[in-house]
Amino acid sequence: MHDLIASPFLNSFVLLRPGRLEGIKLPERRFRELERARDSGATLPFWLTDAARARWNVELSVRLTSEAVLVRDTSMFGHSRASWEINLGCDLDCEHCYLGQKRFAGLDGKGKRRLLLTLRDAGILWLQITGGEALIDPHFAASCRLAHDLGMMTEVLTNGTRLSNPDILAALNAGRPYRVTVSLYGATAETYDSFTRRRGAFKRVTAGLAAGIAAGLPLQLALIVTAQNAHEHEQMLAMADELGLPARNTPTCRPRSTAAPNHSPPSRPLT
């Protein structure tokens, strides 16, 4: 399994570590050097092991470049980001949700694999996996692992009700996302269950958050605030603080967000 990803990104090149958001901007000559080392069977160059130690505090053993670094080919299409609705089903029934009846629909396993290969070939480096509810998809674990193996940096958007499932945790550890964003709909069982129209939802999501924290997942809370739960906004912030998780407010609901996270490479490049 690769420790690092070297990839074209927009009009530059970056060095990334799966599961971490921080990266290193590579000069083209360094990226080409990694391509040659991959193809010739050379060991890791010293500058790369020094850079990994300085950036991520990780010690890379003496290994072949092709084993430690997934060096991605340049795509003729030049895309870099994508958001994938892996299915349209959900185990909750929030009134504000644009999915309406939430009929479960999505590609089969072969279709999902074909789609991920197409995204890889199109140059996608940053992939957001969402739904519906992504974690209820029967092919989520395989898709998460394949995206990782293809050299994509993934973010998973979820309601968190399945995070305590051991198979889900194993999948997220194997195909390590750089972020798992959990939507939060209230701070008490009464409000949460009413908002989601599912009895026991609050109990399941709090169990999921506890399991995710214990597993060391890079969790973030998205506070979904509407007139129905606005009275618990301060309690939701306090809950995030108590859990030690970063939180962002989502005070408005839109059918789909066109805003992409800023994944611009660092301003101080590796020389």
Can you say whether the dihedral through the CA atoms of 64, 58, 124, 128 is positive or negative? positive
Q: Are residues 193 and 223 in the same domain?
A: yes
Parallel, antiparallel, or unpaired for β 12-16 and 23-26?
Answer: antiparallel
Band (pLDDT 50/70/90 cuts) for residue 102 is low
How far, in Å, CA of 102 to CA of 136, rounded?
12
Q: Are residues 125 and 168 in the same domain?
A: yes
Q: How many CB atoms lie within 10 A of CB 36?
A: 12
Band (pLDDT 50/70/90 cuts) for residue 100 is low
Q: Residue 237's domain spans which residues?
A: 81-250
Q: For position 78, what pLDDT does the model report?
A: 85
Q: Are residues 67 and 90 in the same domain?
A: no
- The pair of structure tokens assigned to 203 is 């109990």
What's the mean pLDDT in 6-15?
95
106 has pLDDT over 80 = no
Q: Tell me the angle at which helices 189-196 and 201-214 cross, rounded to the nearest 10 degrees.
A: 110
Q: Are residues 104 and 229 in the same domain?
A: yes
- The pair of structure tokens assigned to 128 is 């957001």
255 has pLDDT over 50 = no
173 has pLDDT over 80 = yes
Q: Are residues 176 and 207 in the same domain?
A: yes
- Give the least confident one: 95-99, 112-116, 221-225: 95-99
**234 burial via Cβ count (<10 Å: 0-12, 13-18, 19+):** exposed
AA letter at 43: T
- The pair of structure tokens assigned to 50 is 């020094």
- Residue 137 covered by a domain: yes
The model's pLDDT over 158-170, given as tens digits with 9 standing for 90+, comes to 999 999 999 999 9
How far, in Å, CA of 36 to CA of 80, rounded?
23
Q: Are residues 38 and 94 in the same domain?
A: no
For the chain, the first-to-last Cα distance in angstroms comes to 27
Percent of the chain with pLDDT over 90: 80
Enter the pTM of the model.
0.88
Q: How many CB atoms lie within 10 A of CB 142?
A: 16
Q: For position 259, what pLDDT does the model report?
A: 41
| End-of-domain residue from the set 13, 38, 71 | 71
Q: For position 13, what pLDDT does the model report?
A: 97
Q: For position 266, what pLDDT does the model report?
A: 47
Q: Are residues 67 and 172 in the same domain?
A: no
Q: For position 261, what pLDDT does the model report?
A: 46
148 has pLDDT over 80 = yes
What's the mean pLDDT in 122-139?
95
What's the mean pLDDT in 66-88?
94
